Amino acid sequence: MNDLSAQNVPEARGNAATVVTTKMTARHVNVYYGAKQALKDVSIDVSQENVTAFIGPSGCGKSTFLRCMNRMNDTVASARVEGEIKLDGDDIYKSGMDVVQLRARVGMVFQKPNPFPKSIYDNVAYGPRIHGLAKAKADLDNIVEGSLRRAGLWDEAKDRLGESGTAMSGGQQQRLCIARAIAVDPEVILMDEPCSALDPIATAKIEELIDELRGRYAIVIVTHNMQQAARVSQKTAFFHLGTMVEYGDTSMIFTNPSEPRTKDYITGRYG
Amino acid sequence: MSDMNPSHTVKSFDNDIHQLRSLITQMGGLCEAQILAAVEALMRRDADAAMQVVATDARIDALEAEAEELAIQIIARRAPLADDLREIVAALKISSVLERIGDYAKNIAKRASALALSAPVQPMVIIPEMARVVASMVKDVLDAFVDRDAEAAYEVCQRDAGVDDFYSSLFHSLLTFMMENPQHITPSAHLLFIAKNLERIGDHATNAGEMVYYSATGRRMTERPRGDDTAFATAAPAVAA
């Protein structure tokens, strides 16, 4: 007999979870590159349960904001960040914050797959090694296998772990980068246009992976592909000219956005 | 509240949407004409004109197929979102509603050619006015669709209660009429179906109005009152009254 009790009813894939754990919060964030203001007064909560997508035209500030979330903008000399960004209630810009530790907790996947020119195994083992997460070779093997499995790459990689990561296809390289991010057991994964260099099949695999990782990690994805945002996210934020115009359930943003600027952008009437 | 949207960056997308609107408008115009022509044939007892209405219905069916094909192409090739998406889904649903309305008009015409051969049925006098109301609902709901005018769509839906009143009134008159003389039963039954067809056209126009409302606003139209109580009527007390 079928068990129809509530806990066995799978959650609808596309719906935003309403009971959420807030993982990161941003309040009144302003970012300047020299004299130019790139981001104006952005406030947002990012939850563990829902994938959050940032959309908007080029130069709207979405990638800038994503980079603030693990202090990647520290590497840009002219960049200045004001406001408050917290991870589990801790201000990540406070003095004494260990940025290396922060980036282990808030991992990042970039537009162009960027595996190290090392073996597949070493690519994944790199983070755990420098963070001292594995005591013995066997521990490290476990982490590498587990990370590759979660990244959906184990079956393709298990017989070639010694080969160079750069010898893989673009889609495989991107999943290797996700495996590398996962290997240090992060809490948040930031993805900056992770599929823009990939073909549709490799893109679909990444999207399926995002769906599988949802809930385990808080995931934020920047994408230029509106359909991708609609497919993978439950929450969407629309950025325009440095401000966050609208933030809401993906199901509403793409069927009935409340801001005219959002509507014009997603229906292809922008500018 | 007319179409305030600026054009799409890709101009051919606008052309597709205009073409779809134009197909729906043509269907609506034909439906309106068919309803009025069917009832005209009924009142004039003109079997030839009635058969002409029956034949014309094929054009509505062909337009529906064309509108459906275009809507599917737009969804496949343009991946429409937000108000574009809502409008195209509404167009798809309205085209099938119009096809159904065309079938009702055709059915009225078929019964008109049968009624042309039988004795006149006195309660028939109410039919032309009822037909005018539902035909105007069809026309106005399509104007509202093209203009993306939610208020006009709501106003069309409000008129459906009047159509239901016509039907209730005719229903009771026909019951009395049939009781008077068993020979009245066959033509009265035809006429009852004709009235029911018109009443259903009103319902479909109302559904189309709800779709236009959703398409224009992204919200569902709130509950509205219903006036048709004939489903609960029994013959005896109505006649005794």
Chosen from B1, B3, B5, B81 to mutate, greatest number of chain A CBs within 10 A:
B81
pLDDT given at position A20: 85
Q: Which of A171-175, A198-202, A235-239 has the lowest average pLDDT?
A: A198-202
Q: What's the mean pLDDT in B38-51?
A: 95
Q: Which residues pair with A107 in a beta bridge?
A: A189
Structure tokens at B173: 């008159």
- Select from B5, B8, B86 the Cβ nearest to the Cβ of A255: B86
Q: Does A82 touch chain B (CB under 8 A)?
A: no
Alpha-carbon distances of B12 from A129, A271, B7, rounded to whole Å? 55, 17, 10
ipTM of the complex: 0.76
Please report which confidence band the pLDDT of residue A1 belongs to, taking 50, 70 and 90 as the band edges. Answer: very low
- pLDDT per residue as tens digits for the range A143-171: 999 999 989 999 999 999 999 999 999 99
> What pLDDT sits at residue A270?
73
Name the more confident of A12 and B135: B135
User: What pLDDT is recorded for position B232?
Assistant: 56
pLDDT single digits (tens) B205-231: 999 999 999 999 999 987 444 555 555
A229 in reach of chain B (CB within 8 A): no
Cβ neighbors of B11 (< 8 A, separation 6 or more) are: none
Model confidence at B236: pLDDT above 60: no
DSSP state of A78: T
Residue A82 has pLDDT above 60, yes or no: yes
Record the pTM. Answer: 0.82
Pick from B8, B79, B219: CB nearest A269: B8
Q: What is the average pLDDT across A225-243?
A: 95
The answer to whether the CB of A64 falls within 8 A of the CB of A42 is no
Residues in chain B, overall count: 241
In chain B, the residue whose alpha carbon lies closest to the alpha carbon of A263 is B82
Three-class secondary structure of residue A38 per DSSP: strand
- Report the pLDDT value the prediction gives residue B70, as an integer from 0 to 100: 97
Return the minimum-mean-pLDDT range out of A26-40, A112-126, A198-212: A198-212
Return the minimum-mean-pLDDT range out of A23-27, A133-137, B21-25, B122-126. B122-126
| Of residues B8, B218, B219, nearest to A268 (C-beta) | B8
Q: Strand pairing of A79-87 and A90-91?
A: antiparallel
Tell me: pLDDT of A7 over 80: no
| Alpha carbon distance A270, B8 (integer Å) | 8
Q: Given pLDDT bands bounded at 50, 70 and 90, which one contains residue B123?
A: confident
Q: Please give, rounded to a whole number of angstroms, the shortest distance from the CA of A13 to a CA of chain B.
A: 19
A232-246 average pLDDT score: 96
What pLDDT is stored for residue A89 in this prediction?
A: 94
Q: Which of A266, A269, A270 sits opposite B5 (nearest CB)?
A: A269
pLDDT digits (tens, 9 = 90+) for A12-70: 445 677 788 999 999 999 999 999 999 999 999 999 999 999 999 999 999 999 999 99
Residues B6, A230: C-beta atoms closer than 8 Å: no
Q: To the nearest whole angstrom, how far is the Cα of A243 from the nearest Cα of chain B?
A: 21
Least Cα distance to A178 among A221, A133, A145, A147 occurs for A147
Distance between CA atoms of residues A160 and A64, nearest Å: 37
Residues in chain B with CB shorter than 8 Å from the CB of A256 are 82, 86, 218-219
**pLDDT value at A249 more than 70:** yes
Residues of A in contact with B6 (CB under 8 A): 264, 269
Torsion over CA: B103, B104, B109, B110 (sign)? positive
Residue A58: name the closest of A171, A178, A192 by CA: A192
More confident of the two residues A8 and B188:
B188
Residue A4: the pLDDT is 43
- Find the closest chain A residue to B6 by CA distance: A269
Mean pLDDT, chain B, integer: 90
Please tell me the predicted confidence (pLDDT) of residue B119: 80
Contacts of A227 in chain B (CB under 8 A): 79
B219 to chain A: which residues are within 8 Å by CB? 256
Q: Mind telling me how many Å the CA of A65 is from chain B's nearest CA?
A: 25
What pLDDT, on the 0 to 100 scale, is given for residue A14?
Answer: 57
Q: Which residue has the higher pLDDT, B131 or B11?
A: B131
Task: Find chain A residues with C-beta within 8 A of B218's C-beta.
Answer: 255-256
pLDDT tens digits, B94-116: 999 999 999 999 999 999 999 98
Query: Which chain A residues have a beta carbon less than 8 Å from that of B10?
Result: 268
Distance of CA A88 to the CA centre of its chain: 17
Instruction: Give me the mean pLDDT over the A88-110 stretch.
Output: 94
Strands A22-33 and A79-87: antiparallel
**Share of residues in chain A with pLDDT > 70 (%):** 94
pLDDT score at B1: 40
Residue A130, φ and ψ in degrees, nearest 5: -70, -25
Among the partner residues B5, B81, B218, nearest to A266 by beta-carbon distance: B81
Q: Which residues of B touch A226 (CB under 8 A)?
A: 79, 81
In chain B, residues with a C-beta closer than 8 Å to the C-beta of A268 are 8-10, 13
